[in-house]
Structure 1
Amino acid sequence: MNFNFLSPVSDSVVAHNELLSSQSLGKKITIHSKHNGFPDLDDAQIAIIGVLENRNDVNYLGEEFSLNEIRKALYELYPGNWHTRIVDLGDINKGETVEDTYFALKTAVSLLVQKNIIPIILGGSQDLTYPIYRAYDSIQPMVNIVNVDSRFDLGDSNKPIKNNSFVGKIILDQPYNLFNYASIGYQTYYNSQEEIDLMDKLYFESYRLGEVSKNITIVEPVMRDANIVTIDMNAIKASEVSLKQKSSPNGLDGKEICAIARYAGISNKVSSFGLFEYKPSQDDEITAGLISQALWYFIEGVNFRVKDDDFLNDDNYQKFTTLADLQELVFYKSKKTERWWIEIPFLEEVNNKLKRHTLLPCMHQDYLDACNNKVPERWYKAFQKNCV
């Protein structure tokens, strides 16, 4: 398997790791270093990859950056009671062109996902989500993306791809593999009415910052259905991060971003996780510390995954049927985890993308709402997308 485009973790980070406690996370991670070479991927479950690409940032001024401080902060943490083998594969450096970097990232993600290894991608600009999405072209026909961001990043898809327009490219570029796009923590005043209307028209999901902060658990069913999860560091409020990283007085706080990362980790479907728009500065400890803790919670989540979506065996679940707005809705509740799903019916007369009854993750509250004659919004949007 050819990963020769990945450069080793810097000597200074490896030397820093040598001084850490033998119990620290850094001592449990197999690191791609000049001295030890590329790690063996057999039985690895999580692979960290840095991508030093930020040329498609709309504010790019030619600055270089490194991910050394994040790695140091992550290595210093102590692992939980984990059974997961983690490898740090080093960095993808800027290619001759941005497209070269995209190709390297797409190749790496595709190879890892096919080996059932979850890549954690640490990056510069968030347009790197595009090659991650393209890595799934040969793996699965329909992909769900969740973007934790203050903006939708739909942009103008007729213009060259940028970190504020990559979602437009994902929607419109062939092959059309995007089934659902969900935005978590968006702030209305950063998004044009045109973009908000387009999200509705496409039956995509969007959860305002206030909704998420009021009830963080609404994120869990959305994550349970995601294949790719990306976090834009600009979604985090200024008081939580270092000087250069400050973006908005409002945003998610540290606890919320860690909870969201953990929800992504415990989802059985999430097979790649990206954290983008990192901007190092002199007072970098806080941002690097927050990112490392979010990564810790994602890894913790992966360790506590439970296979609870096997509905072939009647002993594994309870089934509930209710009528809402003259629509029969069928719910399933896992006996293992008490998580809920709702059935999206297969429409024979429609060119159905899914070709079968599909179970959509939901909350207990959705069942209670249905009992009170209210159709869950997630179900309605998924059903409408199915009819397109």
Structure 2
Amino acid sequence: MNFNFLSPVSDVVLAHNELLPQQALGRRLKIHSQQNGIPDMEGIHLAILGVIENRNDVNYIGEDFNLNEIRKSFYQLFPGSWTTTIADLGDINAGETVEDTYFALKTTISILIQKGIIPIIIGGSQDLTYANYRAYDNLTPMVNIVNVDSKFDLGDSAKPIKNTSFIGKIILDQPYNLFNYATIGYQTYFNSQEEIDLMEKLYFEAYRLGEVSNKIEIVEPVMRDANIVSIDLGAVKSSEVSLNQKVSPNGLDGKEICAISRYAGISNKVSSIGIWEYKPSKDDEISSMLISQMIWYFIEGVNYRVKDDDFKNDENYQKFITLVEDQELVFYKSKKTGRWWIEIPFLTEVNNKLKRHTLLPCMHQDYIDACNNIVPERWYKAFQKNSV
């Protein structure tokens, strides 16, 4: 198993771990240590991976950071009744250049995903999502990214990549593997009108903070269709985090960000998640504990995954057909979980890259809307993207 880029979890954290009760998470993990090296990955379902890289942060001024406090907080939590096995693989340190770090991260994630292990990445600046995305180049033809963020991070892709512009790079760099991009929790005043218009023009999805806070369930279908989830801690309101982490008085609260993490975990498709923009400070306990709880809820979600998207067997689902503006819409409802999907029709004359995207996760509300002659927005956007 080639994990050359990883450095072990620090002895300070391991010493702290020894003092924890036997039932604590830290005592249950397989940990990469200086003494024992990288653990045997046989039977591992999830792997925690730190990335000590923040040089492409637009506000970078040379400060160092480490993830010790997050690990201490996470290790002291107690697991749920989980059947999954978790490893902590330690950290990828900053390379000679940022591109070196990207390469190390891309390679490591790619190895893990091929082994059926879900990486939970904790790191510095969010541009590292670009390396996470590139790890899928040879793994899957089209990738869906969900970004939990107050900003779209499209930026000017003609300029060098930064933590505020990495999505522009993802869209424009070859190979083009991005199918859908969705932002959850964006705040309008942090995004230029040009960026908002571009999201519309590309038929990408955007859910405003108010929408998400009013009805957190709208996140579930979006997550169900995601391969990569990228969470910017700046999306969390300042009252919930430590001093250096404060970005905006408005944002998701602790309960909402944990619910979103759980939805990401429950999704059968999510194969990697990153929690970015961690900025340690003297009063760090709150931020590190929040991140730990987000990871906990993600793992909890993974433990409750149900394979309910097999529509080969008629016994597994109910099928509903409605007419909206002369368009026949076909819905499926899983008998196992009660979750809903809508079919996207193929356009035979188009070179179709959507072969595996025929069914789009949706909500029961979308079916009710369709019965009332309202076209579901997710369906409309996917249909338009398919027609381009």
Query: What is the TM-score normalised by the length of structure 1?
Result: 0.99
Q: Paired residue for 1:71?
A: 71
Distance 1:383 1:48 in 2: 36
Partner-residue secondary structure (3-state), 2:359:
strand
Q: Paired residue for 1:330?
A: 330
Partner-residue secondary structure (3-state), 2:302:
helix
Distance 1:231 1:326 in 2: 40
Contact 1:106 1:132 in 2 (8 A): yes
Distance 2:387 2:324 in 1: 19
Q: Paired residue for 1:151?
A: 151
Contact 1:346 1:356 in 2 (8 A): no
* CA deviation map 1:251-299 (0-9, x unaligned): 0000000000000000000000000000000000000000000000000
1:1-388 to 2 correspondences below 5 Å: 1-355=1-355, 358-388=358-388
Identical counterparts, % of pairs: 79
Partner-residue secondary structure (3-state), 1:113:
helix
Task: Provide the aligned C-alpha RMSD in A.
Answer: 0.6
Could you tell me which amino acid in structure 2 is paired with residue 224 of structure 1?
A: R
Q: Which runs of 5+ in 2 are unaligned?
A: none
Partner-residue secondary structure (3-state), 1:318:
strand
What's the offset of the Cα at 1:355? 3.3
* CA deviation map 1:218-257 (0-9, x unaligned): 0000000000001000000000000000000000000000
Distance 2:300 2:355 in 1: 34
Contact 1:29 1:87 in 2 (8 A): yes
Could you tell me which amino acid in structure 2 is paired with residue 120 of structure 1?
A: I
* CA deviation map 1:125-158 (0-9, x unaligned): 0000001000000000100000000000000000
What's the offset of the Cα at 1:38? 0.5
Partner-residue secondary structure (3-state), 1:126:
coil
Contact 1:346 1:357 in 2 (8 A): no
What's the offset of the Cα at 1:103? 0.2
Distance 2:16 2:259 in 1: 29
What's the offset of the Cα at 1:2? 1.1
* CA deviation map 1:290-321 (0-9, x unaligned): 00000000000000000000000000000000
Distance 2:14 2:386 in 1: 49
Misfit runs of 4+, over 3 Å: none
Partner-residue secondary structure (3-state), 2:20:
coil
Pairs aligned (count): 388
Could you tell me which amino acid in structure 2 is paired with residue 206 of structure 1?
A: A
Q: Which runs of 5+ in 1 are unaligned?
A: none
CA pair 371-318 structure 1, distance change in 2 beyond 3 A: same
